[in-house]
Amino acid sequence: MGGNYMNIIESIQKRRSVRTYSGEPLNGDHIAQIEQFIKQTQAPFGVKARIELVSIHSSGEPVKLGTYGWVKGACEYLALIYEESPFAETAAAYWFEQVVLFCTSLGLGTCWLGGSFSRSDFKKQISLKPNEKLKIVSPVGYASDKKRWFMEKIVVNADKHHNSRKPFGEIFFDKDFNNPLTEIKAGAYAKPLEMLRLAPSANNKQEWRAVLENNILHFYKAPYIIFDSIDIGIALCHFELTCRELGIEGKFEILDIFPKNEKLKYVISWI
Ligand SMILES: Cc1cc2nc3c(=O)[nH]c(=O)nc-3n(C[C@H](O)[C@H](O)[C@H](O)COP(=O)(O)O)c2cc1C
């Protein structure tokens, strides 16, 4: 197929965090395809962001891009840089996930990293303007067939629900927060919501919720630590791109009236 064609549903289902790589640098064709995809896409909601592909081999001597042992054998990383504004993190995360899914469609491994990377190492390779933030990077490369069982086990144990997701009816609701939504009642939105459910989130917290009311979907996040705005951006990306792939029409809009929940923060609606 080439170009920037990708099957969204397939990529969402295939993606998982890869932390162990073969040590091989990305080939020129893969680099060109990723760079072209980045050039042809942008952060939604008018947010200013850029995604840089950085390599340990960009200059003569290999440079250090440290991850405190969390990632092994990766030569290239995607770095997400954005200018601060109220919706910047969410929109930038939406776009970064789009690029992650494109890399998945090329058969490459990725892993969102919010905590376990050396900011100073990366900042040496990327010049940030004073108003720019670097909060996320991801290795991108060829997954190793040799798993570091010890390391992967630590990660899995540190997060019991690693790779697992909350049931549909626990995160999606019908009319108000008292009624779980069934896939049957979700109708055409069943698939986009199912794809949202597979979104990666920091520590696999899955703190996104949605309420379906009169064919409008209201999206919420649980404000917990520093990654809530990023996690919801990834979730909105999975939802909207699946809608687009299935030909479901609609758009995001921030409404004044929506079902209230004292523990959750309203983000946006799909109308
Ligand atoms: C915003 C964000 C930050 C993350 N930070 C890290 C990190 O610092 N280190 C790490 O090993 N994994 C990190 N992850 C990966 C998650 O642990 C992983 O996505 C989640 O457990 C679900 O597993 P899966 O990606 O294999 O589906 C992060 C994910 C997200 C979305």
CB atoms within 10 A of CB 132: 15
Query: What's the gap in Å between 119 CA and the centre of ligand 1?
Result: 17
Q: How far is the CA of 166 from the centre of ligand 1 (A)?
A: 16
Q: Cβ contacts of residue 154 below 8 Å, gap of 6+?
A: none
For the whole model, what pTM was predicted? Answer: 0.94
First to last CA, the chain: 32
116 burial via Cβ count (<10 Å: 0-12, 13-18, 19+):
middle
pLDDT at 161: 43
Sequence spans of domains, the chain? 8-155, 168-270
What is the spatial distance between Cα 22 and Cα 129, in angstroms, rounded to a whole number? Answer: 33
Say if ligand 1 is within 6 A of residue 125 CB.
Answer: no
Torsion angle of alpha carbons 227, 228, 234, 237, nearest 10°?
-150
CATH topology of domain 8-155: NADH Oxidase (3.40.109)
Identify the CATH number of the domain defined by range 168-270. 3.40.109.10
**For residue 257, how far is its CA from the centre of ligand 1 (angstroms)?**
33
Index of the ligand 1 atom closest to the CA of residue 116:
8
Read off the amino acid at residue 123: K
d(CA 60, CA 129): 25
Cα–chain center distance at 18 = 14
Per-residue tens of pLDDT for the chain, all 271 residues: 444 578 999 999 999 999 999 999 999 999 999 999 999 999 999 999 999 999 999 777 899 999 999 999 999 999 999 999 989 999 999 999 999 999 999 999 999 999 999 999 999 999 999 999 999 999 999 999 776 655 555 555 444 444 699 999 999 999 999 999 999 999 999 999 999 999 999 999 999 999 999 999 999 999 877 899 999 999 999 999 999 999 999 999 999 999 999 999 999 999 9
Check the CA dihedral 33-37-7-75 and report its sign.
positive
| Domains 8-155 and 168-270 alike in fold | yes
166 Cβ contact partners less than 8 Å away, ≥ 6 residues apart: 197, 206
Q: Using a 6 Å cutoff on CB, does residue 118 contact ligand 1?
A: no
